[in-house]
Amino acid sequence: MRAVWLGFRLLRPRDGRSAVRIVLMGMGAMFGVTAVLGVLSIPSVVLAQAGRLGAQEVVWNQERGTLPGYTTPVGARFWGQTSNRWIPSAQRSLVVHSVGAVPSGTSIPLWLDRYPEPGEIAVSPELAEHLGNEPGGFGRRFPQEIIQILPDEILVSPDQLFAVVGVGVDPLAPQNSGVFPIKQLGGDEANYQGPGFRAVRVMVVMGAIFVLLPMLVFVATSARLSARTRQRRLAALRIIGMTTPQAAAVAAFEVAFASFAGALAGVALWRALIPLSEKVGLGPLRWFASDVSVPFNNIVVLVFAVVLLSTAVALAGSLRAFSNPLQERASAGPSASVGLRQLRVLPLGVGIALLVWAAAAPTETNVWFMIFAAGNIVVGIGVYTFLPVLTSTLGRRLAKRAHSPAMRIAGRRLSHDPAAAARVVVGVLTLVLIVGFGQMLMVVIEWGATRNDPSLDAGTPQSVSILYADTDTESIRSIDGVNLAFPIVGSRTRGSRVLIASCSEMKQIAAVSSENCDDNKLQPLNRSGDSEAIHDLIPDIALADRFDFETNGSSRPEAHYRIHPDLLPRTIDVPHSWYIELNQDKESFVNTIVGMSPTANIRETAIHDRGRQASTYGALINAATIVALLLSLGATLTVLTDRCLERRRTSNQLLALGLAPTTLRKTEAIWITTPLASGLTIAVLLALFSGFAGLRLTGEWLAVPTQEIATVVIIGATCAASTALTAILATPTRLSHHIQSDA
Amino acid sequence: MPVLSCEGLHLSYGSTLALRGVDLRVGAGESVAVVGSSGSGKSTLLHCFAGLRVPDRGEVRVGGVLLSSLSDRRRSRLRLERMGVVFQFGELLPELTMEENVGLPLWVTGLSRSAVAERVGEVLDDFGIVHLADSYPGEVSGGEKQRAAVARALVHDPPIVLADEPTGSLDSVNADRVMSALVDRSCRYGQALVLVTHEMRFAELCDRRLTILDGEIALPRLRP
């Protein structure tokens, strides 16, 4: 008990430095707890969003049936269509439920005042704002009258674009393939599992890798602050006769108190950031602040876990003082033997070998992943164990070839206690390893997006196809920016679709075409189709020879046959879709066509989801990188400052000897940048190599990650520069009264 | 029976032999000065006496109790109750006042606050630093700090006082003050004093003077 009291008594800071030390220790715990709570909040957001998505969900009737006036299948109440479209300009999805043929008396979801009639729309607040702000752009998409602003309770996020549009039977009627009978609008089960959850899962994993690991480094580093001061204090207590447990209690109290206070501050910071998180979000991911929560018990457990971790690390760092209080004042003892040094290199060698294996040897995916994961983990451990060996070697060479006192002192210092410098820089090296790997993941995603999204090439005409639009060919062709528009009839599911176009029209889209276009026959295109199905659709028309063509745009119409409009049987009077080639902004066209026909479903031939992935995951990786960067760099600079301050006595002695302050600063800068620069070089190379090995899984070797490599190198250089600058600035270069009296 | 003794002490740091078969007995109230050149092993001997370092061979007895037979906890207790240790740099805790620093051994032993205050007041007065009771180590001179360190070593009236160059960092005036306070007080209270020092004038204040040369006692000499 007396030891605890003494620990409490020792908390009272006597000078600015001890106050700063306690504050820094507390900050380590604070940022750590805030980061972990951020990650722990994800499940609550996911659950809440599942409920909200469930409320929006359309419960379809499993049995399709046909449209009215027409027969509604058993169990179904009305008809509708849902489109979920990524809006690049808004960087989020637009979900639109089109509902029609709703009989009176149909149950209405609690969040809807009534079902919109044709020409009416109920919209989310964010969509309403867009419609108000962009009458000529987004507004064209929804010319209907707004009858209700939907409540937040059913929205996934404050910025969700969501609408329920009323449509008539006519727009729905001819489009059986895109329209489904609805049992209920608004599901009552909060078990929605949509594609958005993939990103959330990724966010949890990334949070764990990018945030938790640097956080652990930060908390552990902070807890080791002033290790020498603490060792001296412990040695003094042991010398007067305190037992090891008593001295440990004294030492633990300071760290435990600082980390406890810091952890509580971390909880407060997390709570303060929740409202802000609603406004900022994470890339395209947004959420309601009210959805963010962590169970109280988990917070309590986390706070105590951080306190325990900090205390354990601090005590582990003071073990030497516990076991032998004189060891601190004795020489550091002989350096590690050659055999032991070689052992320290071993994990890195094994890790690299595993990565080489993962990069080179073709093997089954699961096995490959295990090798790859093991390789990365062992490389991470290897960098940690190898660093003191590297530092010691560099120190010896530096001292041997020194041209200046600063180099000689720094070199001797590095070779004498290589672990000290290694401990300072290991946080940054861990960060660079993680960031490097993350950036290489970005390569895969971005490369995929680039490959699949021709809109990235501004000079190329863009092709879209429209399904289920209630309009005619002439109306579409009159829209600004439409180069070509051809109707396509036929079943998508049966694989026999017919493009309606004359030979002269056809040649407009055919940059290279065969000469055998025949307006008098049904003509196969260079896509294979189901010949039996086409005879069901268009009977008794002879087949011509195949017509080969290339479009000016980036894709071909999704059709298997071509037929002249005059030969189209009267029984087929409505096209199911259109092939359209644009020479302008796709969004503008989409806004216009949806405004003309709410049920129109536009499908780009580009796989926009890859772009969405890049956007989502890229934002996640970049956000996580920034958090990891701040945590790791903060930890490094903190511990470096602490180191420099702890060396005040040595600095004073050197100053007293007549060394210039600039020499002292140079010494500190060389001491830290030597292991840091070489360690960073190794970490960057390893990170990039690990990333390349990772590309092996997807086979996307063609990606040239220039930008990502530059990012990693810039981050590394920034870390090195800021670390050197901190070393220079934190070096005491004035004789202090305190130290003079100390000596 | 000697209050402190060692027999056949051997201790090495790697390949360097620090102590080579040292035998020594210190009786109650006796003061012994250990002199020798740097690296001769005199501080190591003191550390072995304090139980801070375990010899490779040989034994140390405190009041007849074999140190090596005690656990770390009991050795610590023995040091707290029966020894006062002072080093060249006082190792005062900068966060505690001079009064708190001096009273620390009493306080850790479990004495009440008032008893500690009373006892510490006397000792501070003896050492001429009572006016600095509420000051912090960072606010006083090196000599005053070192006097406080010696006071801390003596505050609980230990039967054994071990001092490792307690004046090594002080000017001659302050060194004289500290040393005379240490020797006079240990003599007055019948404490055994083992003093490691470089300075012959301080060694001659002691009853006996031993010279350690390369880890061995070279010349035991009785004070006339």
Mean per-residue pLDDT over chain A, rounded: 74
**Of A46 and A675, more confident:** A675
pLDDT (0 to 100) of residue A527: 62
CA distance B52 to chain A (A): 7
pLDDT at A191: 42
State both tokens at A49.
């969003």
Q: Specify the residue for token string 């090596």.
A: B68
pLDDT for residue A725 is more than 50: yes
* pLDDT tier, A270 (very low <50, low <70, confident <90, very high otherwise): very high
Task: State in Å, rounded, how far the first CA of chain B is from the last one.
Answer: 23
Question: How sure is the predictor about A102, in pLDDT bands with cuts at 50, 70 and 90?
Answer: confident
Question: What is the mean pLDDT of the segment spanning A234-261?
Answer: 81
User: Which carries the bigger pLDDT value, residue A447 or residue A245?
Assistant: A245
Does position A303 have pLDDT exceeding 90, yes or no?
yes
Mark yes or no for CB contact B73/A244 under 8 Å.
yes
Chain B residues whose CB is inside 8 A of the A236 CB are: 91-93
Locate A105 and state its tokens: 């008396």
Q: Does A319 reach chain B within 8 Å, measured CB to CB? A: no
pLDDT value of residue A742: 39
| pLDDT classification of A277: cutoffs 50, 70, 90 | confident
pLDDT score at A258: 86
* Assigned token pair, A25: 């220790």
> A695 Cβ partners below 8 Å, 6+ apart?
A440, A443, A444, A701, A703
| Contact call for A244 and B145, based on CB within 8 A | no
> How many alpha carbons fall within 13 Å on the CB side of residue A214?
30
CA atoms within 13 A of residue B158's CA, in its CB half-sphere:
34
Structural tokens at position A249? 């209690």
Beta-carbon separation of A241 and B81 below 8 A: yes
> A14 and B142 in contact by Cβ < 8 A?
no
pLDDT given for residue A148 in this prediction: 92
- How far off is chain B from A200, nearest CA to CA, in Å? 49
pLDDT band of residue A607 (cuts 50, 70, 90) is: very low
Instruction: Decide if B53 touches A, using CB distance below 8 A.
Output: yes
Cα separation values, B217 from A85, A192, A634, B200, B208, Å: 93, 86, 54, 16, 13
The tokens of A366 are what? Answer: 């699961």
Q: What is the pLDDT of residue A456?
A: 43
pLDDT at A174: 47
CB atoms within 10 A of CB B27: 14
> Using a CB-CB distance cutoff of 8 angstroms, which residues of chain A are in contact with residue B107?
2, 6
If we measure between CA atoms, which residue out of B174, B149, B176, B177 comes closest to residue B164? Answer: B149
Length of chain B: 224
Q: Cβ–Cβ of A743/B142 closer than 8 Å?
A: yes
Q: Which of B14, B47, B105 lies at the smallest CB-CB distance from A326?
A: B47
Output A354 or A461, whichever has higher pLDDT: A354
**A567 CB-side CA count, 13 A:** 23
Residues near A367 by Cβ (< 8 Å), separated by ≥ 6?
Answer: none
Range with the largest mean pLDDT of A105-114, A123-132, A324-333: A123-132
Among A332, A309, A430, CA closest to A32: A309
Domain membership of residue B58 (yes or no) is yes
Give chain A positions within 8 Å (CB) of B116.
Answer: none
A239 vs B91: CB contact, 8 Å cut-off? yes
Q: Which residues of chain B have pLDDT under 70?
A: 89-90, 219-224
**What percent of chain A shows pLDDT beyond 70?**
66
Rounded CA gap, A724 and A639, in Å?
13
Give mean pLDDT, residues A326-355.
67
Nearest-angstrom CA–CA distance, A624 and A439:
11
* Residues on chain A touching B136 (C-beta within 8 angstroms): 14
pLDDT of amino acid A121: 93
- H/E element, B25: strand B16-26
Q: Residue B112 sits in which domain range?
A: 4-219
Of B45, B64, B47, the C-alpha closest to B2 is: B64
- Note the pLDDT of residue A514: 61
User: Hey, which residues 167-196 in chain B have their CB within 8 Å of chain A?
Assistant: 169
Restricting to B residues 61-90, those with a Cβ less than 8 Å away from any Cβ of A are 72-73, 76-81, 83, 85, 87, 89
> DSSP class of residue A547?
B
What's the pLDDT score for residue A264? 95
A493 touches chain B (CB under 8 A): no
Does A532 score more than 80 pLDDT? no
Q: Which two structure tokens, joined as six digits, stand for A264? A: 């509580």
Please answer whether residues A278 and A288 qualify as being in contact, where contact means their C-beta atoms are separated by less than 8 angstroms.
Answer: yes
Give the span between the Cα atoms of A95 and A92, in whole angstroms.
10
Distance between alpha carbon A104 and the CA centroid of its chain, in Å?
46
pLDDT of A596: 81
Q: Which residue has the tokens 């269509």?
A: A81
Smallest CA–CA distance from B146 into chain A, residue: A742
- Residue with the larger pLDDT of the pair A24 and A612: A24
Cross-chain residue pair A240–B85, CB shorter than 8 Å: yes
SS3 B117: helix
Q: What is the spatial distance between Cα A683 and Cα A692, in angstroms, rounded to a whole number?
A: 14
Given a cut of 80, whether residue A228 has pLDDT beyond it is no
Residues A204-222: tens digit of each pLDDT: 666 666 666 666 766 666 6
- Identity (one letter) of the amino acid at A646? E
Q: In terms of CA atoms, which chain A residue is nearest residue B153?
A: A240
Domain assignment present for residue B38? The answer is yes
Q: What gap in Å lies between CA A672 and CA A428, rounded to an integer?
A: 12
Given an 8 Å threshold on Cβ–Cβ distance, is B72 in contact with A244?
A: yes
A26, two tokens: 């507390």
Per the omega criterion (within 30 degrees of 0), is the bond before B36 cis?
no
Q: Shortest CB distance from A326 goes to which of B53, B89, B108?
A: B53
**CB nearest A2 (choices: B72, B107, B136):** B107
Given this model, what pLDDT does residue A658 score? 63
What is the pLDDT, as a whole number, of residue A739?
Answer: 39
The residue among A363 and B166 whose pLDDT is bigger is: B166
- In this prediction, residue B182 carries a pLDDT of 84
In whole angstroms, give the CA distance from residue A217 to residue A667.
26
Residue A266: predicted pLDDT? 92
Give backbone dihedrals phi and psi of A628, rounded to 5 degrees, phi first: -60, -40
- B99 and A CB contact within 8 Å: no
Please report the pLDDT score of residue A722 as a whole number: 82
Q: Is this complex's ipTM strictly greater than 0.85? A: no
Query: Is B15 touching A (CB cutoff 8 A)?
Result: no
Pairing assessment for the beta strands A145-149 and A120-123 based on DSSP bridges: parallel
Nearest Cα to Cα of residue A237 among A260, A253, A222, A219: A253
Per the DSSP assignment, residues forming a β-bridge with B222 are B208
| pLDDT tens track for A463-511 | 677 776 777 888 888 888 887 888 888 765 556 788 888 888 877 766 5
Q: What is the pLDDT of residue A271?
A: 93
* Any A CB within 8 A of B52 CB: yes
Q: Which residues on chain A are in Cβ contact (under 8 Å) with B78?
A: 241
Beta-carbon separation of B108 and A236 below 8 A: no
Cβ contact A330–B152 (<8 Å): no
Asked if A25 and A311 touch (Cβ cutoff 8 Å), the reply is no
In a domain, B71, yes or no: yes
Residue A553 — pLDDT band, cuts 50, 70, 90? low
- B141 vs A contacts (CB less than 8 Å): 741
Strands B216-217 and A549-550: unpaired
Q: Which of A78-87, A267-276, A565-574, A604-613 has the lowest mean pLDDT?
A: A604-613
Give the distance, in angstroms, between the CA of residue A458 and the centroid of all CA atoms in the same chain: 27
B91 vs A232: CB contact, 8 Å cut-off?
A: yes
CA distance A98 to B80: 85
Q: What is the pLDDT of residue A462?
A: 64
Nearest-angstrom CA–CA distance, A264 and A612: 38
* Interface contact flag, B108 A326, Cβ < 8 Å: no
DSSP class of residue B85 equals E
Give me the DSSP letters along B135-187.
--GGGS-HHHHHHHHHHHHHTT--SEEEEESTTTTS-HHHHHHHHHHHHHHHH
Read off the CATH number of the domain in which B207 is found.
3.40.50.300
A649 to chain B: which residues are within 8 Å by CB?
A: none
User: Considering the domain boundaries, does residue B224 fall inside one?
Assistant: no
Q: Does B138 touch chain A (CB under 8 A)?
A: yes
Instruction: Look at residue A415 in the predicted model and tell me its pLDDT.
Output: 83
| A282-306 core/surface letters (b: 16 or more CB in 10 A; e: else) | bbbbbbbeebbbbeeeebeebbeeb
Q: Hey, what amino acid is at A266?
A: G
Work out whether the CA dihedral A145, A148, A154, A155 comes out positive or negative: positive
Residue B85 has its nearest CB partner, among A232, A239, A246, at A239
The reported pLDDT for the residue numbered A149 is 93
Residue B27 CA, distance from chain mean position: 15
Residue B165 contacts A where some CB pair is shorter than 8 Å: no
For A141-174, write each residue's pLDDT tens digit: 888 889 999 988 888 888 888 999 888 766 665 4
Domain ranges for chain A: 1-56+193-330, 58-185, 339-453+607-743, 462-605
Most confident segment among A6-10, A43-47, A549-553: A43-47
Alpha-carbon span A386 to A730, nearest angstrom? 27
For residue B199, the model assigns a pLDDT of: 82
pLDDT of A654 higher than 80: no
CA A237, distance to chain mean position in Å, is 49
Integer angstrom CA distances of residue B192 from A492, B55, B182: 105, 22, 11
Is B186 part of any domain? Answer: yes
The count of domains in chain B is: 1
Strands (E), A124-266: 145-149, 161-167, 180-185
Where are any strands of DSSP class E within A23-70? Answer: 58-60
Buried (b) or exposed (e) across A381-409, using 16+ Cβ within 10 A?
A: ebbbebbbbbbbebbbebbeebeeebbbb
